[in-house]
Amino acid sequence: MFGFLKKKEPSQVNETLYAVATGKVIPITEVNDPVFSQKMMGDGFAVLPETGEIYAPIEGKILSVFQTKHAVGMKMANGLEVLLHMGIDTVELNGAPFSIKVTEGTKVVPGTLIATVDLEKIISAGKATDMVVVITNMDAVKEFDLTKTGQVTAGEIVGSAKA
């Protein structure tokens, strides 16, 4: 009768990290860029993609889409902020290889298409195609686990991040 006496069910927070593309998952320490490999921006992983379809690495919400389209900021329900950085030094390409499919405020789940990327354009510009996923507010992270490396399919579980 009165709902305030009922115990609330603890809400489930999805702390899972997913492969953003079909390809090879590597630890962030193997990314060929010291800003990422030395974890200056945070911890995470990268996918060396086989195709240009790039999907959400988390369940959460889009916070920002960079004007140069090379990066998208997201937030998980547990408060962790995740940056998807598409390619290495691709800011210099002024968005040319990227077609962003989300906008700020969009709720995303694994399987949500974030962008399509012309990998050949990135490679012909002399850039690397690493799709880097970084947790940028590491001060809020209690636990980060990369549980799978090597060959993956887009949307496959690769780890978790607990706040």
Query: What is the model's pLDDT at position 11?
Result: 53
Residue 35 has pLDDT above 90, yes or no: yes
Q: Is-contact 43 144, C-beta < 8 A?
A: yes
CA dist., res. 24 & res. 5, Å (int): 50
How much is the pTM?
Answer: 0.92
User: Would the pLDDT of 16 be above 70?
Assistant: yes
**Per-residue pLDDT for 106 more than 80?**
yes
Cβ 30 vs Cβ 42: under 8 Å: no
pLDDT tens figures, 120-150: 999 999 999 999 999 999 999 999 999 999 9
Quote the pLDDT of residue 5: 55
Q: Is 85 a catalytic residue?
A: yes
**What pLDDT is stored for residue 115 in this prediction?**
98
Q: What is the pLDDT of residue 126?
A: 97
pLDDT given for residue 6 in this prediction: 52
Q: CB neighbours of 133 closer than 8 A, spacing ≥ 6?
A: 17, 20, 44, 45, 46, 47, 57, 82, 83, 84, 85
pLDDT for 13 equals 74
158 close to 151: Cβ distance less than 8 angstroms: no
Q: Are 81 and 75 in contact (CB under 8 A)?
A: yes
Domain 13-155 has CATH 1.10.3720.10: no
48-71 confidence digits (pLDDT tens): 999 999 999 999 999 999 999 999
Residue 10 has pLDDT above 80, yes or no: no
The percentage of the chain sitting over the pLDDT mark of 70, rounded to a whole number, equals 93
More confident residue, 150 or 5: 150
How much is the mean pLDDT over the chain? 94
Question: Could you tell me the residue ranges of all domains in the chain?
Answer: 13-155
Given 31, 85, 108, 161, which residue is catalytic? 85
Helix (H, G, I), strand (E, B) or coil at 79: coil
